[in-house]
Structure 1
Amino acid sequence: MRYARAEALRYLRAQTNDEAAGILVDTVFLKLRNEVQARHVLQKHSCEILEDGVLLDCGVKFTSKDLAKHLAGCKEVLLLAATLGAKVDIAVRRLALESVSEGAAAQAVAATIIEGYCDEVQERVDTELHQRPRFSPGYGDWDLSEQRKLFSILECEKKLGLTLTDGLMMAPSKSVTAVIGLSEEESCVWKKCLSCNNINCPYREVEE
């Protein structure tokens, strides 16, 4: 299990040399790690890049010019859904009730764990093609409502116990869905925070 301490501190808006914050996230990680029940679903699909989106071989179209731009040159994509499981959500809520600071740290630590798990899943993919960075509903102009299409294709509820609320929030909350482009050419570095419209996100990275 990967735990990115520096990333957790960034989510907390703490400096990497903040000793107290470092102890806090380390302590919370130890409390969360045994609650993690990470699972995922991964599918490969051929795709056609259109002007206003991406058409999959199964007939589903993702409507987003930003996604189409991100996947330019890709003939295949990976569709990913991953979750840390319900026990992590329960643990995060429990810690928040016990301590405001531990609750905030738990949110940050769990976010780094799910991102690290997704990285591990991608690293195990047997392909000679280059993988583009993950692109999720809600990034850029890709409407969050298109999350339903990913859930349907990947059968998230059946295979992972992962559901969508009426407000399009995932449950368990420490979960990720994404499209990953496969290309013969390595793409340039892409910063997901700069492509996201949520400028008030507390986890947003600031361009150096």
Structure 2
Amino acid sequence: MRDIKVMKALKPHFNKNLIYTRLGYRRGFTKLDRSEESRIDSIIDTTVKALDIMAAYRIVDILNVNSPLITLENGIQLKGERLSKLLNGCHQALIMFATGGQKVMDLIKNLQIENRLSDAVVVDAAASEITDSALDVVMSHVAHNIRYLGHVLTKMRFSPGYGDFDITQQAILYGLLEAEKFGVLLNEAYMLTPEKSVFAIAGIGKMSTGGIDD
């Protein structure tokens, strides 16, 4: 397998509207007064400062896609019809993860202890969205690096727990990236610690094949 690449101290661009969506607000539909919006934006800024985002990725060969099974190098198998569709026509897979670190989780816990529950909810939503945005950074970086090889990356990525890509397969991605070496833990319920951690997979195909599903 190819070496694991690490990206530290990431400050990803993120869509603030998506944080509001996670909070249940809909721009143009949900009325939000300026003071409340200012409060939320201030908490988002605090969240950004508390995050210590790092990411890691590796590229592995795809040996076969026979929906719903995907066989990677060394005989490792993933399962999912939608994932199979995403990886159809791809010869490699990009396996990646990002974590927001423990400090932001401590912030959430302290806010809960102080009974500032609404603030804790905002931090939770912001941390989730911003950490996920770090995977955009990974994908952009990899897409740039493989372009000179005549390869292209799928626009979409799937995370365990999405659709029929069962959460139990989180353990496979976790192992491929040796995430325990980066301080990320996986429990028996396939949940991650720090909680603001996310794994995903995307596909790599050849431009000459006429494109790949995205």
TM-score tier by shorter-chain length is 0.7 to 0.9
Q: Tell me the TM-score normalized by structure 1.
A: 0.83
Q: For residues 187 and 169 of structure 2, what CA distance do their matches in structure 1 show?
A: 13
Greater mean deviation of Cα atoms: 42-51 or 30-39: 30-39
The answer to whether 1:44 aligns with 2:66 is no
How big is the alpha-carbon RMSD for the aligned residues of Structure 1 and Structure 2? 1.7
Whose radius of gyration is greater, 1 or 2? 2
Deviations 1:28-48 (A, max 9, x none): 122222222111110001102
Residue among 38, 43, 48 paired with 1:23: 38
Structural mapping, 1:6-21, within 5 Å: 6-16=17-27, 18=32, 19-21=34-36
Aligned to 1:187: 213
Aligned to 1:141: 164
The answer to whether 1:61 aligns with 2:55 is no
Task: Indicate the percent of aligned positions where both proteins have the same amino acid.
Answer: 26
Q: Matched residue pairs, number?
A: 187
The answer to whether 1:106 aligns with 2:128 is no
Aligned to 1:130: 153
Q: For residues 198 and 36 of structure 2, what CA distance do their matches in structure 1 show?
A: 26
The answer to whether 1:154 aligns with 2:165 is no
Q: Tell me the TM-score normalized by structure 2.
A: 0.81
CA contact (8 A) 1:9 1:21 kept: no
Q: For residues 97 and 8 of structure 1, what CA distance do their matches in structure 2 show?
A: 23
Q: Secondary structure at the match of 2:93?
A: strand
Please state how far the C-alpha of 1:21 moved relative to its aligned partner.
Answer: 4.3
User: What 5-or-longer segments of structure 2 have no aligned partner?
Assistant: 1-10
Aligned to 1:173: 195
Please state how far the C-alpha of 1:135 moved relative to its aligned partner.
Answer: 0.5
Q: For residues 28 and 132 of structure 1, what CA distance do their matches in structure 2 show?
A: 31
Write out the 4+ residue segments of structure 1 that deviate beyond 3 Å after TM superposition.
none
Aligned to 2:109: 93
